[in-house]
Amino acid sequence: MNESKLNIWQVFMTRRDILNIFHEPFCDAFYYGPEKISPSWTRWPADKIARTGKGHYTYDLVLQHILDAAEDPHKRIFIKDMAEHIILPTHSPHATAPSLRHRFPPHDPPNPTLLPTSILRLFRFVFLIRDPSAAIPSLYRCFLPPLSAMTEDHELDPTELGYREMRILFDHLHPPSSSSSRFSVPQPPPLLIDADDLLSDPDAVLRALCARLGIVYAPAMLAWEGPEELAFAKSLLDKLAGYHEDALHSTGLRAQPPAERRRSRGEEDAEWEARFGAEGAKAIREAVDLCREDYEYLRGFRMGVVGE
């Protein structure tokens, strides 16, 4: 999900006194390492992976960095990442990355990710979803000038939109009553936030989220204007240059009034064609339609709608 307006990880970045922050750590293995899953590298300049310095990052190396940070007795781990970075495009429930095989204990229950179930049990999961009619056009900008000069990609890949993978992981952690429980992970159920709710009242949503996570909330978490915050954000976002420019230059998360009504399909198409041309509007519409069902399904579990 593109974060042009969704700076929730930056909210928690302000609590580095109690949190060790990781921003999309598994993307290093997903995009750049010897076990890379993403097809994006086939479209990139030949030397891009070498320039990242991440060409040796395996899934095991990324996980070890996280586990090492977890040894700090004074800080909890906060990871912002994408479900698609740890789920194969085939969605196989028995897949793993070769480098992680030594991590699997005997009789480890299967799950849809590349990680052992014993590792998944260590985390409390929070899902942030955004209406694809807002998220996909924002993402599409990253494949056009001037941002494409930084992303070095010019194609919206429908296999990397992430909504289906979010649903798969969510259902694994919070299986529907009709699902088999053989994939269930015994831990607190996941929390799910809809971006519209967050943007409408960030103070109320984040106050409730922090209460459920056992983090002391303060309204000051909604602002990050100091040079230290900017430098820290830049250190995390440089590896994904072009994808988070709005977030990088933001100074806080502020309430935005909700739209008075949802735009019609025709109104959306007309706006996208005016902004991106006919070809761009067609690509965006196809991607939005592809993600719509999964988004609406997940939205039914958002905080404040379905109790834990």
Q: What is the pLDDT of residues 36-62, one digit of tens each?
A: 999 888 889 889 999 999 999 999 999
Q: Which of 192, 151, 147 is nearest to 169 (CA)?
A: 192
How many whole angstroms from its chain centre is CA 256?
A: 21
3-state DSSP of the chain:
CCCCCCCHHHHHHCCCCCEEEEECCCHHHHHHCCCCCCHHHHCCCCCHHHHHCCCCCCHHHHHHHHHHHCCCCCCEEEEECCHHHHCCCCCCCCCCCHHHHHHCCCCCCCCCCCCCHHHHCCCCCEEEECCHHHHHHHHHHHHCCCCHHHHCCCCCCHHHCCHHHHHHHHHHHCCCCCCCHHHCCCCCCCEEEEHHHHHHCHHHHHHHHHHHHCCCCCHHHHECCCHHHHHHHHHHHHHHCCCCHHHHCCCECCCCCCCCCCCCHHHHHHHHHHHHHHHHHHHHHHHHHHHHHHHHHHHCCCCCCCCC
233 exposure class (CB count in 10 Å sphere: 0-12, 13-18, 19+): buried
Higher pLDDT, 265 or 304: 265
Token duo for residue 185: 């992970």
In this prediction, residue 9 carries a pLDDT of 85
Contact indicator for 242, 4 with CB cutoff of 8 Å: no
Confidence of residue 4 (pLDDT cuts 50, 70, 90): very low
Whole-model pTM?
A: 0.92
Mean pLDDT, the chain, as a whole number? 90
In sign, the C-alpha dihedral spanning 70, 214, 59, 174 is positive
Share of the chain above pLDDT 90, in %: 74
Higher pLDDT, 308 or 259: 259
In this prediction, residue 186 carries a pLDDT of 56
If you average pLDDT over residues 232-248, what whole number do you get? 89
In this prediction, residue 5 carries a pLDDT of 46
Confidence of residue 303 (pLDDT cuts 50, 70, 90): very high
In this prediction, residue 248 carries a pLDDT of 86
In this prediction, residue 182 carries a pLDDT of 46
If you average pLDDT over residues 117-145, what whole number do you get? 95
Q: For 179-231, what is each residue's pLDDT tens digit?
A: 554 445 457 889 999 999 999 999 999 999 999 999 999 999 999 988 898 89
Confidence of residue 239 (pLDDT cuts 50, 70, 90): confident
If you average pLDDT over residues 146-173, what whole number do you get? 95
Of the candidate ranges 78-92, 229-243, 249-263, 272-286, the one whose mean pLDDT is the lowest? 249-263
